[in-house]
Amino acid sequence: MYKHLLVPIDGSATSLGLIDQALAYARATQAHLSFFHACRDLAATGSGAMLLAADPVAYATSAQAPGHALLAKAEAAARAEGLPCDSTLVISDQVADAILEAAERLGCDLVFAASRGRKGFATALSGSVTRQLIEAAQLPVLVTCIDARERLTARYRALSLIRDEHRSLAAVLHGLEHLAQTWRADGPAPDFRLLGAMLFYVEQFPERLHHPKEETQIFARLQARTSQFDTLLQELRAQHRAGGEALRELQAGLIAFERATPGAGERFFEQAQRFIVGQWQHMGVEERLILPAAATQLSDEDWQRIAEAFEGHADPRFRREAGASFEQLFARIAQVAGEAVTTST
* List of long-range contacts for 149-154, beta carbons under 8 Å, 24+ apart: 149/116, 149/117, 153/300, 153/303, 154/300, 154/303, 154/304, 154/306, 154/307
Report the distance separating Cα 114 and Cα 116, nearest Å: 7
The pTM assigned to this predicted structure is 0.79
Predicted local distance difference test score (pLDDT) of residue 53: 44
Predicted local distance difference test score (pLDDT) of residue 62: 52
Cβ neighbours, 10 Å, residue 165: 21
Predicted local distance difference test score (pLDDT) of residue 130: 80
Predicted local distance difference test score (pLDDT) of residue 54: 42
The domain locations on the chain are 4-146, 154-344
Query: What pLDDT, in 10s, does the model give residues 10-38?
Result: 877 677 788 989 999 999 999 999 999 99
Predicted local distance difference test score (pLDDT) of residue 164: 87
Report the distance separating Cα 312 and Cα 294, nearest Å: 20
Topology classification of domain 4-146: Rossmann fold (3.40.50)
Exposure pattern of 30-66 as b/e (b: 16+ CB <10 Å)? ebbbbbbbbbeebeeeeebeebbeeeeeebbbbbbbb
Topology classification of domain 154-344: Four Helix Bundle (Hemerythrin (Met), subunit A) (1.20.120)
Report the distance separating Cα 125 and Cα 140, nearest Å: 16
Please indicate whether the domains covering 4-146 and 154-344 agree at the CATH topology level.
no
Q: Which residues of the chain have pLDDT under 50?
A: 43-59, 118-127, 149, 314-324, 341-345
